[in-house]
Structure 1
């Protein structure tokens, strides 16, 4: 197994960047509880610590499956991927819609991981908020999905699009775009391809072929 140290470092930078805010907020809430006597402020501090701890837990669970080996296990299915995706988006300005009532069956290991990391990646293309509409077709090895991001503004940089090929040489890697590269690697391992196309300023189609 070939391990690219730079990719590991950039992925760790991404994880730390996302986790430092909620963990810092937990610490701030606990510090306020140590000396504060006002009942209302105590209640606010407890609520802050609780919300932030939940957010940190959600991020860890989502990244454990989206970026870690847990997402490759056969036990990690469509339903769990959707739950983690919705938890990840909770409290933000991006929603997930179009989820089928019936989960596709006999999905290959790693397929649901690709779906989860795709949702995380596409949510970042909607800085002003919007909707991610999911469409799933087929079963088993033939299962495919499309995520359509729609909002008032789509931010989809050229380097992110190029790195979806899973080729680290397609563009310079950094902590901002490493998730796109990892998404491409997951698709490549599943022998799938990613097609991403933007339509105007407010729509982006992300297809797994």
Structure 2
């Protein structure tokens, strides 16, 4: 299947659409709370409105900060990002969501694109457990050759539809919309970071693994046949027979 390449305008438009989608709900809730404060003098309703505004403002702020790193430039080219900051952003992002977050990673600065990939894969893992559950994030190795393993465990877990094809850049429909842009973008980041992403599922657990592309391809043994033409035929005499 041919790879899909979006032009810069389409890619930026779809990413902006994704960010706006994530912000519509909390920003709308803040507006609703302000309207209650303006129109209702009932103390209990005003307290409810203030609580709604506080909660929604925290959610909106967390999503903006997360998107700034996951989708944005976040500094100059080649910048490094602290994994501790990535953990904080992730926990804040999902503070009001269904999944619990477990996080195990070295205290280190990692290359920007590898951290962007990590954050995008965490969001994708959340879609693998629509009824909530646990997202277990493990990062091992160093910034040059890390291994990222994210296990999303919960009821009715499944590999997100079309995620594998979108990350590979070969969507089945030959196009991508605002629903699939996150996985497509994660694939772009993975290739820029020289990482390969794979999915697997066992029971109620979906595992997303990202490893350096070189490590994902195991070289064949030096003396292994490379094609059927290289294999000895039954009709060919062996060295022993010729001896």
Name the counterpart of 2:200.
197
CA separation in 1, counterparts of 2:109 and 2:18? 32
**Counterpart secondary structure, 1:107:** strand
Shift of 1:170: 7.3
Name the counterpart of 2:112.
109
| 1:188 aligned onto 2:173 | no
What's the C-alpha RMSD, in Å, of the aligned pairs?
A: 2.0
CA separation in 1, counterparts of 2:16 and 2:109? 32
Q: 1:25 to 1:78 in 2, by over 3 A?
A: same
Shift of 1:19: 0.8
Q: TM-score, normalised by structure 1?
A: 0.89
| 1:133 aligned onto 2:136 | yes
Is 2:113–2:189's contact at 8 Å kept on the other side of the alignment?
A: yes
**Counterpart secondary structure, 1:193:** strand
Q: 1:168 to 1:185 in 2, by over 3 A?
A: farther
**Counterpart secondary structure, 1:174:** coil
- Which protein has the bigger helix share? 1
2:14 to 5, 10, 13: 10
Shift of 1:158: 4.0
Name the counterpart of 2:221.
none
2:149 to 142, 146, 150: 146
Shift of 1:46: 0.8
Name the counterpart of 1:83.
88
Question: Residue by residue, what CA displacement relative to the aligned partner does 1:28-79 show, whole Å, maximum 9, x if unpaired?
Answer: 1001101211111111111111111111111111011101111766352211
Is 2:165–2:171's contact at 8 Å kept on the other side of the alignment?
A: no
Name the counterpart of 2:99.
94
Q: 1:73 to 1:28 in 2, by over 3 A?
A: farther
> Which deviates more, 150-159 or 166-175?
166-175
CA separation in 2, counterparts of 1:159 and 1:10? 17
Name the counterpart of 2:52.
48
Structure 1: gaps spanning 5 or more residues: none
Moved over 3 A (4+): 166-171
Shift of 1:157: 3.8
CA separation in 2, counterparts of 1:70 and 1:167? 28
Question: Residue by residue, what CA displacement relative to the aligned partner does 1:128-170 show, whole Å, maximum 9, x if unpaired?
Answer: 0011112222113012110011101124344222111245677
CA separation in 1, counterparts of 2:117 and 2:190? 7
Shift of 1:15: 1.5
**Counterpart secondary structure, 1:92:** coil
**How many equivalent residue pairs?**
205
Name the counterpart of 2:64.
60
Is 1:163–1:171's contact at 8 Å kept on the other side of the alignment?
A: no
Q: TM-score, normalised by structure 2?
A: 0.78
> Which deviates more, 189-198 or 90-99?
90-99
